[in-house]
Amino acid sequence: MPGEQLHPWHDGYEGAVSLTFDDGMRSQLEGALPILAENGLSATFYVNPRGPDWRGLLEPWKAVAEDGHEVGNHTVSHPCSCAFKETRADCLETMTLDDMEWEIGEGKRRISEVIPEQVDFTFCYPCYHAHVGEGPDRRSYVPVVARHHVAGRGKGDYANHPLTADLHHLYSFPVERRATSEMIGLVEEAAGQNRWAVLTFHGISEGHLSVTESDFTGLCNYLGEHRDRIWTAPVVAVARSIHAWRSARTTRTNHGP
Ligand SMILES: [Zn+2]
């Protein structure tokens, strides 16, 4: 179709990148944020507003959202598969869709209460797991996420194609222990295919699944230098852009040439 935009990336971008950070870790506030700021990049931080002091836990993230980053929902209590545990308490195989409805709805409500200025934000699957129950009773909770959020981030082996990706179960690359060059490789492969690479970080030179500060700095410098070709933006911004582009395509299809 003449004039049809083949992908949703505007301003001459070849592809998109989202840097996502899970679990609300201290090194993200103290290590990642200054490096992002130096390079003029915005990212997504998925937090768990858990326990009696959930308001206090969310407090430092208010300023993060004010600086243009996304503060997203990682559930209240971070439930993962029982396979990670030695008991069957408080884990996904013994939970129901109603339990996840509460985890997701309440996580969203708490973040919205503390950061009301943030009108829209996305979800991230704890431990990348997207099911409840087991065997014949195993169910996906992706539909619960779809009721509450514009997008959800999981894990996968590919960068997301703007036309075919399930926005409520986006693929992301876990990049713990990766070198700068490997992360740039993932970004460039996605850009070459006009796709959207989502990278998942935990600690920055700290704690579990960490990437070194120097490797993270190398990646951010690269994304800053290539900002005219590669659109680095929070998950919610890229998801909204894809959603609008898909809606426009559908409208054109329905009304003919
Ligand atoms: Zn997590």
Q: What are the structural domains of the chain?
A: 15-255 (3.20.20.370)
**Residue 109: which residues within 8 A CB-CB, separation 6 or more?**
none
Report which residue type is found at 77.
S
Q: What's the 11 CA to ligand 1 centre distance in angstroms?
A: 34
Q: What's the 124 CA to ligand 1 centre distance in angstroms?
A: 8
Identify the bridge partners of residue 19 per DSSP, sorted by sequence position: 199
Identify the bridge partners of residue 196 per DSSP, sorted by sequence position: 16, 160
Q: What's the 195 CA to ligand 1 centre distance in angstroms?
A: 25
What pLDDT score does 1 carry?
46
Q: How many helices (H) and strands (E) does the chain have?
A: 8, 10
d(CA 204, CA 176): 9
Identify the CA nearest to 211 among candidates 35, 6, 11.
Answer: 35
d(CA 162, CA 245): 9
What pLDDT score does 25 carry?
96
Residue pair 107/74 in contact (Cβ under 8 Å)? The answer is yes
Q: What's the 185 CA to ligand 1 centre distance in angstroms?
A: 25
Q: What's the 92 CA to ligand 1 centre distance in angstroms?
A: 14
Q: What's the 88 CA to ligand 1 centre distance in angstroms?
A: 19
d(CA 121, CA 31): 23
Identify the CA nearest to 199 among candidates 15, 20, 43.
Answer: 20
Q: What's the 129 CA to ligand 1 centre distance in angstroms?
A: 10
DSSP state letter for 29 = I
What pLDDT score does 256 carry?
53
Token digits for 153? 């981030």
Q: What's the 21 CA to ligand 1 centre distance in angstroms?
A: 9
Q: Which residues of the chain have pLDDT under 50?
A: 1-2
Q: What is the pTM of this model?
A: 0.95
Q: What's the 130 CA to ligand 1 centre distance in angstroms?
A: 12
What pLDDT score does 255 carry?
62
Identify the bridge partners of residue 199 per DSSP, sorted by sequence position: 19, 173
Q: What's the 226 CA to ligand 1 centre distance in angstroms?
A: 29
Q: What is the pLDDT of residues 18-72, one digit of tens each?
A: 999 999 999 999 999 999 999 999 999 999 999 999 999 999 999 999 999 999 9
Identify the CA nearest to 124 among candidates 8, 17, 19, 249.
Answer: 19
Q: What's the 22 CA to ligand 1 centre distance in angstroms?
A: 5
Q: What's the 228 CA to ligand 1 centre distance in angstroms?
A: 32
d(CA 166, CA 157): 14
